[in-house]
């Protein structure tokens, strides 16, 4: 079930999620959440999932659809829990949303509130830059996970492309997956619709980022499907890329996110790699 909880902070909504969520739970609570968003404007959300036991299949689909539809209404989402699979699901969900999401343990509730109130940041920016090339770069590839802070990597890519008068291209890798958890089997009848929705969202994010960093040719914007490290390296090799730019230790996602695969790209890339610490 859902219930609102007091957090005593402006523009932050508190929600407690407990038990096993059903479609009926969402039908009752989403109008309440819509009203809160309408009154507060873009909000951050404190979600207590300490006693959460999972979703019914239809409820999981309701959750994802609402998140995609209201992406711009959320600034930060802090999830408090004590289960590894909840942490995994939150990071997986985070990939396609522009709002920052972060998982905190039950012992880190105050850190979660500090983060929502933006009292302190989770990371600091740091870059590792390749040596000055012996010849100018001709084709720079930016691999992105769409997180708000990964835009720093985009800015760096644009700067280097301008400096070397290089072609700049953009890639995001969509890692195909089956929606499941330990409480129910894969939802076969809804899987295709879910993946199509996520891929469409990824394409929209690619278009937005391409516009922001000045990539005007659609042929330089790529949505690939597969394992991120392998797909990025293969794409770089096939397209004469001589510099790959990736975000390292990104705040969003799990193994398939760029922060987790950056070291693998550095070790196996056929060209120079710039990792931008996010």
51 by DSSP, 3-state: which? strand
pLDDT of residue 126: 44
Measure the CA angle with vertex 139, ends 128 and 242; round to 5°. 55
Contacts of 203 (CB under 8 A, 6+ apart): 223
pLDDT of residue 71: 63
> Rounded mean pLDDT of 15-36?
86
> Rounded mean pLDDT of 32-58?
83
Where residue 87 falls among pLDDT bands split at 50, 70, 90? confident
Where residue 255 falls among pLDDT bands split at 50, 70, 90? very low
DSSP character at residue 10: T
pLDDT of residue 192: 65
Backbone φ and ψ for 105, nearest 5 degrees, come out as -75, 170
pLDDT of residue 36: 82
pLDDT of residue 179: 45
pTM of this structure: 0.52
Percent of the chain at pLDDT above 70? Answer: 72
Mean pLDDT, the chain, as a whole number? 78
Quick check: 16 pLDDT over 90? yes
Residue 38 CB: number of other CB atoms within 10 A? 9
Contacts of 30 (CB under 8 A, 6+ apart): 62, 66
pLDDT of residue 181: 46
Q: How far apart are CA 261 and CA 253, in angstroms?
A: 11
Residue whose token pair is 């996110």 = 257
pLDDT of residue 259: 46
> 207, exposed or middle or buried, with CB in 10 Å at 0-12, 13-18, 19+?
middle
Q: How far apart are CA 54 and CA 81, in angstroms?
A: 12
Maximum pairwise Cα distance, the chain:
63
C-alpha distances (whole Å) from 67 to each of 61, 197, 263 are 10, 12, 31
Residue whose token pair is 């695969």 = 261
Q: Which residue did the predictor score with more confidence, 58 or 105?
A: 105
Q: How far apart are CA 48 and CA 106, in angstroms?
A: 9
Tens of pLDDT along 128-160? 455 555 678 999 999 998 876 678 889 999 999
Chain centre distance of CA 15: 21
> Rounded mean pLDDT of 156-183?
80
pLDDT of residue 185: 47
> Rounded mean pLDDT of 15-23?
88
Q: Which residue did the predictor score with more confidence, 256 or 170?
A: 170
Domains of the chain: 2-116 (3.30.750.24), 126-277 (3.40.50.620)
Closest by Cα among 43, 121, 47 to 80: 47
Tens of pLDDT along 102-134? 889 999 999 999 989 886 444 434 444 555 556
């Amino acid at each position: 079930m859902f219930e609102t909880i007091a957090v005593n902070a402006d523009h932050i909504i508190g929600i407690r999620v407990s038990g096993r969520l059903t479609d009926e739970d969402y039908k009752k609570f989403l109008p309440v959440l819509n009203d809160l968003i309408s009154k507060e404007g873009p909000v951050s959300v404190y979600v207590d999932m300490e006693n959460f036991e999972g979703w019914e299949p239809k409820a999981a689909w309701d959750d994802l659809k609402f998140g995609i539809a209201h992406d711009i209404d959320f600034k930060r989402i802090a999830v408090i829990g004590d289960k590894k699979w909840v942490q995994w699901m939150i990071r997986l969900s985070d990939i396609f949303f522009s709002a920052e999401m972060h998982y905190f343990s039950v012992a880190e509730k105050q850190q979660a509130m500090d983060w929502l109130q933006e009292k302190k940041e989770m990371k600091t920016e740091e870059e590792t830059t390749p040596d000055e090339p012996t010849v100018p770069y001709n084709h720079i590839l930016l691999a992105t996970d769409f997180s708000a802070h990964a835009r720093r990597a985009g800015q760096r890519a644009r700067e280097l492309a301008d400096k070397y008068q290089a072609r700049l291209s953009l890639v995001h890798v969509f890692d195909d997956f089956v929606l499941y958890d330990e409480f129910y089997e894969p939802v076969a009848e809804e899987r295709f619709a879910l993946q199509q929705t996520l891929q469409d969202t990824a394409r929209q994010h690619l278009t937005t980022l391409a516009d922001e960093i000045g990539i005007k040719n659609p042929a330089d914007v790529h949505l690939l499907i597969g394992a991120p490290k392998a797909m990025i390296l293969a794409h770089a090799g096939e397209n004469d890329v001589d510099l790959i730019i990736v975000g390292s230790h990104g705040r969003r996602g799990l193994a398939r996110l760029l922060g987790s695969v950056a070291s693998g790209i550095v070790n196996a890339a056929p060209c120079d790699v710039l990792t931008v610490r996010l």
